[in-house]
Structure 1
Amino acid sequence: MKSIIGVFALAVALSTGVAHAVENKQQTKMSECNAQAAGKKGDERKAFMKECLSAKKETPQQAKMKSCNAEAKDMKGDERKKFMSQCLKK
């Protein structure tokens, strides 16, 4: 019985930590969007906040992939594979 309570207590502690981390991330994003929305009012502010809060930040790897893909747009086959491999390693 004690081991079940211990496992339950551990699960609650871990889930609380994860929820707290998610909450902090959301609060940070809200603060950033709020600062960017300075000077906007009414529907304009509402639309901006909705867009800002739903926007996903692009990771450096995603940005690199997008850039390499743009450079390789006319390449095909092995030439493209070789270029993409080298470009993504940079």
Structure 2
Amino acid sequence: MTRSARFAATCLLLSFTAAPLLATAAPKPPTAQQTLMAKCSAQNKGKKGDEYKSAQKACLSGGAAPAAGNASQQRMKDCNAQAATQKLQGDARKTFMSGCLKKQ
């Protein structure tokens, strides 16, 4: 058997053995962001141009996630202000910040 014939046979064998492995991979469920984007896109179907863009922006920003982000940012801001008022530094500041962020 020539070198090129062995190579072709090996490629053929690999293609048959690898195909079932690739076909058995289960599709991943969509993330929350992907689900939200699909929902907003379906709601705004038929709109075009700037009207579509503004409707998408309003729909995508109307979720609960930004509110949670703002609450955690506010908590961090408040704890930082308290630590600055108490003039904490180093390990004392780290310990204070950890406790402050957990209790609020």
TM-score scaled by length of structure 2: 0.41
- Larger-Rg structure: 2
TM-score normalised by length of structure 1: 0.45
